């Protein structure tokens, strides 16, 4: 089954791979950038198709066609369709940690986590986020990986919060706040979807953290 023309066309337009004839003094660096560009193009193509037609209905051939690469090339970057979803999630986690590290030093850890999550989630299309959540909910393999995602995210958040503190005694506090923030994202996300995505995601984040503060009082 081939990818639909609209999906393939949109991916090719949005992707901006480096020219094969580009010159650079840092040869290996250029090669790495081209590999990363192809990996990102595959990820975008896969996610667009998953959301359009469903995870099970999307084949690896569909993804390769939409990204304008061969099936063989797909396996140079990913071992399976599930790996593509994991890569997308890891990219989102990396962006979130960067948001936390960049928060003002005078913010408490919990406030920094809240503001970073709210800032990161503003860049996500609510409809796509809801569709992605339903996609994972309906697929056992993706559900298992989702649990692993939250474990990795908790560790990454703890590290990001500890970097802000730059104070060894605060490492335990960073781990506890990371655990709370990760739980808020998981439980809050499920509630947001369950309530029909009526609120903007950043508004729901604030409501979730307000509830956490109420519990901790």
Query: CA-to-CA distance for 31 and 53, rounded, in angstroms?
Result: 33
Pick from 165, 199, 181: nearest CA to 117 = 181
Q: What is the CATH number of domain 5-78?
A: 1.10.10.60
The answer to whether 83 and 147 are in contact (CB under 8 A) is: no
pLDDT tens across 177-213, in order?
Answer: 999 999 888 887 777 767 666 777 778 888 889 989 9
Query: CA-to-CA distance for 51 and 134, rounded, in angstroms?
Result: 10
73's enclosing H/E stretch is helix 71-77
Contacts with 31 (C-beta within 8 Å, 6 or more apart), sequence order? none
Query: What are the backbone angles phi and psi of residue 56, rounded to the nearest 5°?
Result: -65, -35
Q: Which residue intervals of the chain bear CATH 1.10.10.60?
A: 5-78
Query: CA-to-CA distance for 22 and 114, rounded, in angstroms?
Result: 42
Does this model's pTM top 0.85? no
pLDDT tens across 23-57, in order?
Answer: 444 555 888 888 889 988 998 899 889 888 888 89
Options 3.40.50.300, 1.10.357.10, 1.20.970.10, 3.30.70.141; CATH of 82-216: 1.10.357.10
The answer to whether 83 and 72 are in contact (CB under 8 A) is: no
């Amino acid at each position: 089954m081939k990818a639909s023309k609209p999906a393939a066309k949109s991916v090719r337009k949005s992707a901006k791979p480096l020219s094969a004839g580009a010159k650079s003094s840092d040869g290996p660096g250029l090669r790495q950038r081209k590999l990363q560009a192809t990996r990102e193009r595959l990820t975008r193509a896969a996610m667009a198709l998953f959301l359009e037609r469903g995870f099970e209905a999307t084949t690896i051939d569909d993804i390769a066609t939409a990204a304008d690469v061969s099936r063989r090339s797909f396996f140079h970057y990913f071992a399976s369709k599930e790996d593509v979803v994991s890569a997308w999630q890891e990219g989102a986690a990396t962006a979130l940690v960067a948001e936390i590290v960049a928060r003002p030093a005078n913010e408490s850890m919990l406030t920094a986590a809240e503001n970073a999550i709210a800032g990161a989630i503003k860049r996500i299309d609510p409809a796509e986020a809801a569709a992605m959540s339903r996609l994972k909910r309906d697929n056992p393999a993706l559900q298992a990986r989702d649990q692993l995602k939250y474990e990795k995210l908790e560790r990454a958040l703890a590290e990001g919060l500890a970097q802000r503190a730059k104070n060894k005694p605060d490492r335990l506090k960073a781990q506890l706040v990371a655990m709370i923030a990760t739980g808020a994202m998981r439980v809050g996300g499920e509630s947001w979807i369950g309530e029909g995505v009526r609120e903007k995601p950043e508004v729901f984040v604030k409501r979730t953290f307000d509830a956490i503060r109420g519990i901790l009082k």
